[in-house]
Amino acid sequence: MDPLTRRDFARGAGLATALSYSRILGANDRVGMGFIGLGNRGDQVHDAFLEHGDAQTVAICDLRDDYLDLAAKKSRGNPTRYKEYKKLLEDKTVDAVVIAAPDHWHALMFIDACHAGKDVYVEKPLSLTVVEGRKMVETAERTKRVTQVGTNRRSWKSYMEAAEFVRSGGLGHVTAARCFHIHNEWPNGLGPGTGGRVPSDWEWDHWLGPAPYVPYNANREFYNFRWFYNYSGGQLTNFGVHYMDAIRWLIGQDSPRAVAAIGGQFAHIKDNREIPDTMQVLWEFDGTLVAFEQYNANSAPGSGPSCEIELRGTKGTMYLRSANWDVVPEKVSDGYVGYNHGHGYGNPVDRSHGRDVDASRHALIEAKSVKGAKGGDTMAHARNFLDCIKTRAKCHADVLIGHLSTSATLIGNIAHRQRVFLEWDARAERFPNNSAANRWLSYQYRAPYKLG
Ligand SMILES: NC(=O)c1ccc[n+]([C@@H]2O[C@H](COP(=O)([O-])OP(=O)(O)OC[C@H]3O[C@@H](n4cnc5c(N)ncnc54)[C@H](O)[C@@H]3O)[C@@H](O)[C@H]2O)c1
């Protein structure tokens, strides 16, 4: 990689065109990868990139030394170790970065990475707020970066087949979709939030980043930050964004036009969580009602066993279970339903003669069952990113796709926290019927952090 080109990128001036960049990194070149955040997910994504011979781990960054030790050991090389991600972004051996820090860091790290001329794989949800997400889209476009958001179902073959099936009308008109986050966390949940490894002041400050300062509490840190709104949108943006992304893709729509949500901490789980344990969110898309159902104090299935997403079409229902899916046909009638001009259903004389049953109902489609790769596949998502770095094509889940899916879930949280029904103007990315709710589309960063 030409260092001058990199410096030009870092200054944000004289940006190389996509074409000239692709000439720099040819089809047979190895991509120098930098990893920011090597916890639970960062480690998994690192493993996925290590499966590809043309990805080389050249730099790693985390607040924790033990996570850096493990990543360095796995890397099959001698990556440079960083505690500050901005230093990693100055590293000229890094062509592309993976950002797997907590959600409240995504926007800052992503925008800085774009300005430093790195292509970016950023974990889902794309952002903590809608305004951040839009800024990320604009920055990636302006700096001509290749981007991939970690909604990895977009790269699963079985999901591609499901999308093809639904979008070509296989289910008829999909009038409703439901998705679920189900897990019984009652009675003790996350626990008291004390004990374990206490971070240094420097580390806690760098964990909090742009979020408001609060004294250290173990529940707010590793993995558990998902239960607190300053760092995450809860399960709605954690699992929910995977499902929303898939539903948008399958039904072929960009954005909802209205959202409502209701729920709360009904089970009084004994921890300091902020997110609800029980909630339902409803979005109105054009001709499709979408629901997210979160039951975290009871684990009975919401639909079929292990079903993550259910799509109800006029001709059939699709049940998606991780990488597998089934279609169960509907039976439709050639005639009318209901009280049929004085005959059949509802006519007690016909009923007494057994003539109220509509025997003409028949299926218009066949049952179908597709088995995907076990446990999904982050490798394919990583492969798609590496290929696009070289061709400069758009990735399966580029930043705009990630933004539309993330913002749909973020507005669900705003409706829930404001206890209101919200219309959504997707073009303006504003709520036309509620100015108070518009204030929740962004937040004030803690000094000295600023959205670039
Ligand atoms: N695509 C998926 O299926 C999937 C699965 C799990 C998590 N995720 C996403 O991955 C992200 C991380 O989640 P996780 O479960 O790995 O959390 P985690 O707490 O296990 O890991 C986060 C890591 O980021 C590091 N970090 C925090 N601030 C940092 C900073 N300023 N500089 C460098 N490193 C910093 C932490 O030290 C930690 O190791 C979240 O956005 C989450 O939504 C995606």
Residue 248 has a pLDDT of 98
For residues 25 and 132, membership in a common domain is answered with yes
Task: Specify the CATH number for the domain of residue 224.
Answer: 3.30.360.10
For residues 69 and 125, membership in a common domain is answered with yes
How many angstroms does the Cα of residue 224 sit away from the middle of ligand 1? Answer: 10
For residues 222 and 211, membership in a common domain is answered with yes
d(CA 414, CA 236): 11
Atom of ligand 1 nearest to the CA of 221: 19
Does residue 370 lie in a domain region? no
For residues 265 and 388, membership in a common domain is answered with no
For residues 68 and 89, membership in a common domain is answered with yes
Does residue 141 lie in a domain region? yes
Residue 357 has a pLDDT of 65
Which of 89, 106, 123, 378 to mutate to test ligand 1, by most ligand atoms within 8 A of the CB atom?
Answer: 123
**Predicted TM-score (pTM) of this structure:** 0.94
Identify whether the C-beta of residue 32 lies closer than 8 Å to the C-beta of residue 58. Answer: yes
Does residue 166 lie in a domain region? yes
Does residue 332 lie in a domain region? no
Does residue 304 lie in a domain region? yes
Copy the structure tokens of residue 448.
């000295």
CA distances 294 to 150, 182, 302, 371, Å, are 21, 6, 9, 26
For residues 435 and 383, membership in a common domain is answered with no
Task: Specify the CATH number for the domain of residue 104.
Answer: 3.40.50.720
Does residue 360 lie in a domain region? no
Which of 35, 41, 103 to mutate to test ligand 1, by most ligand atoms within 8 A of the CB atom?
Answer: 41
For residues 128 and 44, membership in a common domain is answered with yes
Distance of CA 416 to the CA centre of its chain: 19
pLDDT tens for 322-347 read 889 999 999 998 887 777 777 777 88
Confidence bin at 360 (pLDDT 50/70/90): confident
d(CA 37, CA 258): 35
How many angstroms does the Cα of residue 109 sit away from the middle of ligand 1? Answer: 12
Count up the domains in the chain and report the number: 2
For residues 279 and 189, membership in a common domain is answered with yes
Does residue 58 lie in a domain region? yes
**For residue 18, is pLDDT > 70?**
no
Residue 21 has a pLDDT of 43
For residues 142 and 197, membership in a common domain is answered with no
For residues 16 and 112, membership in a common domain is answered with yes
For residues 146 and 111, membership in a common domain is answered with yes
Cα-only R_g, the chain: 24
- Single out the residue of 192, 191, 297 nearest to residue 235, CA to CA: 297
How many angstroms does the Cα of residue 99 sit away from the middle of ligand 1? Answer: 8
How many angstroms does the Cα of residue 379 sit away from the middle of ligand 1? Answer: 18
Residue 38 has a pLDDT of 98
Domain span at residue 10 reads 3-155+379-399
| Protein residues whose CB sits closer than 6 Å to any atom of ligand 1 | 36-42, 61-64, 67, 85, 100-103, 105, 123-124, 150, 152, 206-207, 209, 222-223, 238
Does residue 206 lie in a domain region? yes
For residues 268 and 253, membership in a common domain is answered with yes
Which of 35, 36, 40 to mutate to test ligand 1, by most ligand atoms within 8 A of the CB atom?
Answer: 40
Confidence bin at 395 (pLDDT 50/70/90): very high
d(CA 285, CA 424): 10
Residue 376 has a pLDDT of 61
How many angstroms does the Cα of residue 164 sit away from the middle of ligand 1? Answer: 32
The residue whose C-alpha atom lies closest to atom 7 belonging to ligand 1 is 41
Confidence bin at 374 (pLDDT 50/70/90): low
Question: 139: number of CA atoms within 13 Å, CB side?
Answer: 27
